Amino acid sequence: MESFGVETEEGAKNRNLYLFYQDVCSRHTLHVYAIDSSSLLMYPVTKLPRGNSCDMGCIAHGSKLYAIGGVFRDSHAQEYPRDVLVCDLSKRKGREGDQYKWKAGPALNAGKPYPMVVAVKGKIYALAGHADYDVPVAVDPTFEFLDHRGVWHPLPEPPFYSWYSTPPGPTLLCYTVSGNIIYVLVQKPGDNEVVELLYSFNVLKKKWKEHPRGVLCGDRVGDNLSSHKWLKWADLEDGKLYLSEAYGGSCRLYAHDLITSKKKKFADEIVSDASACEIYGGLPVSWDVQSSYLECGCNGVPYVRLPVKLLEVLDVSKQSLVAHVGNRMLLVVCAYNPPRKFPEDRRFVYTCLLKLVKVEDNICKGSCSEKWRDCAVIVKQQYHKMNRLFDDISSWSTM
């Protein structure tokens, strides 16, 4: 496929980011856009008309795009789609929007409504989520993976398997991958109070594990994830969980260190290093401290605040994500609806490419290891005006 990634000294290229949109209201068509991780160019890749189903799980893997499972729009349907649609991006010349063709791939063993879809070690994993209509979600198997030969295999049912029998079933709030382990935060159905529990699945051992909040389970990443409030758009890389949110004319990028057992100390004021700015030729953005993050009482959570001037005149749609695209580079994306005073049916997208660096902290009086401070340098920023109004971003993936 065509590649427009950032070249490093070793010749490795950054991954590009793929955004999956559905038509606003109707959800009849899935639209795929890509963001070039070097130029920040945003362009349409392909679109997939969907007849009577929607809300598939989407992922970019290898040189292909996958749309998996979903739900039927018919509220009287008695089953869930087993469809798997595949788009091979290595088989198109040029870059005109919808010339990439989709074709049917290997069908699932069982339908997957609102599925979790992730790729680990070259294999694609799909876990069933909740349902829109009153149909039992407990279809077997609820969890399966696609191997290199294109065959789906059932996997052990999750510890919350019984929840699928209670409509609407478990809600998969967010999920991420660290090494061989898939982490998924699940909301229990049917209770008057909201119950959220973290589970993990080791793809090598093929075993599930529950991570009760405040209980050490021998998995430092899982133990820390169960204690933090995190969002659907989070990305986990090198033991750090990155997530973003945007409001009040700025975009904030958060970072949780999930490996360090003790809390890392951060200075209360922003500290930057002029020499580091000159080396990278960008604008410095140092880690700051938020005393209370997302009302979860996580004191001392570091974040960076990005200057997003356009946001002051736009209505926030709460669509913000951050993706690690390789070589210590982060790509932040914020999508916004136009303000009401503008009649255009468009959506605005802000993109920012950041380089993660370490600078010397002259304030720190501790050990040598504590004198180096994590910092993010803005490499490039870009605004995009979409030519139509889409529904919210349904999923994203890097490739």
Q: Which range (189-198, 244-253, 372-381) has the least confidence?
A: 244-253
Q: What is the pLDDT of residues 319-353, one digit of tens each?
A: 788 999 999 899 988 887 665 655 555 677 888 88
pLDDT at site 1: 27
- pTM for the complete prediction? 0.84
What CATH number is associated with residue 174? 2.120.10.80
pLDDT: is 251 or 287 the higher one? Answer: 251
Are 151 and 249 in a shared domain? no
Are 66 and 174 in a shared domain? yes
Are 205 and 319 in a shared domain? no
Are 177 and 247 in a shared domain? no
Q: Are 321 and 233 in contact (CB under 8 A)?
A: yes
pLDDT at site 295: 37
Most confidently modeled of 92-96, 153-157, 292-296, 360-364?
A: 153-157
Domain assignment present for 312: yes
The fraction of the chain above a pLDDT of 70, given in percent, is 67
Domain assignment present for 10: no
Q: How far apart are CA 52 and CA 66, in angstroms?
A: 18
Q: How far apart are CA 151 and CA 104, in angstroms?
A: 13
Mean of per-residue pLDDT scores for the chain: 76
Are 137 and 55 in a shared domain? yes
Q: Final residue of a domain: which of 227, 251, 281?
A: 227
Q: What is the pLDDT of residues 162-221, one digit of tens each?
A: 998 888 889 999 999 999 999 999 999 876 777 899 999 999 999 999 999 888 888 888
Is the pLDDT reported for residue 366 higher than 60? no
Residue 72 lies in domain:
51-90+99-227
Are 183 and 326 in a shared domain? no
Are 247 and 371 in a shared domain? yes
Among candidate residues 354, 341, 332, 95, the one with its CA nearest the CA of residue 233? 332
Q: Are 166 and 224 in contact (CB under 8 A)?
A: no
Long-range contact set of residues 228-232: C-beta below 8 Å, sequence gap at least 24: 228/256, 228/296, 228/298, 229/293, 229/294, 229/295, 229/296, 229/298, 230/174, 230/185, 230/256, 231/174, 232/173, 232/174
Q: What is the pLDDT of residues 139-152, one digit of tens each?
A: 789 999 999 999 99
pLDDT at site 101: 86
Q: Which range (115-124, 302-311, 373-382) has the least confidence?
A: 302-311
Most confidently modeled of 89-103, 114-128, 239-253?
A: 114-128
Is the pLDDT reported for residue 158 higher than 90? yes
pLDDT at site 272: 29
Are 218 and 338 in a shared domain? no
The fraction of the chain above a pLDDT of 90, given in percent, is 34
pLDDT at site 269: 27
Domain assignment present for 221: yes
pLDDT: is 167 or 269 the higher one? Answer: 167
Establish whether the linkage from the previous residue to 189 is cis, with ω within 30° of 0.
no
Are 151 and 254 in a shared domain? no
Are 188 and 255 in a shared domain? no
pLDDT: is 337 or 106 the higher one? Answer: 106
- For the chain, the domain total comes to 2
Distances (CA, A) of 260 to 135, 198, 221, 234: 44, 19, 9, 19
Q: For strand 116-120 and strand 71-72, is the pairing parallel, antiparallel, or unpaired?
A: unpaired
Domain assignment present for 119: yes
3 state SS of 48: strand
Domain assignment present for 278: no
pLDDT at site 342: 57
Q: Are 373 and 264 in contact (CB under 8 A)?
A: no
Residue 145: count of CB within 10 angstroms of its CB? 21
Q: What is the pLDDT of residues 16-61, one digit of tens each?
A: 999 998 876 656 788 899 999 989 999 989 989 877 788 899 999 9
Q: How far apart are CA 53 and CA 79, in angstroms?
A: 11
CA 109 to chain centre: 26
Write the single-letter amino acid at 213.
Answer: R
Establish whether the linkage from the previous residue to 168 is cis, with ω within 30° of 0.
yes
Q: How far apart are CA 280 and CA 329, in angstroms?
A: 12
Q: What is the pLDDT of residues 274-315, one digit of tens each?
A: 222 222 233 444 444 443 333 333 444 555 666 555 555 555
Domain assignment present for 148: yes
Are 220 and 301 in a shared domain? no
Residue 23: count of CB within 10 angstroms of its CB? 18
Are 153 and 115 in a shared domain? yes
pLDDT at site 293: 38
Write the single-letter amino acid at 298.
Answer: C
Distances (CA, A) of 245 to 60, 197, 241, 255, 304: 24, 23, 14, 12, 11
Domain assignment present for 74: yes
Strand order in the sheet with 123-127: 116-120, 123-127, 143-146, 152-154
Domain assignment present for 277: no
pLDDT at site 340: 61
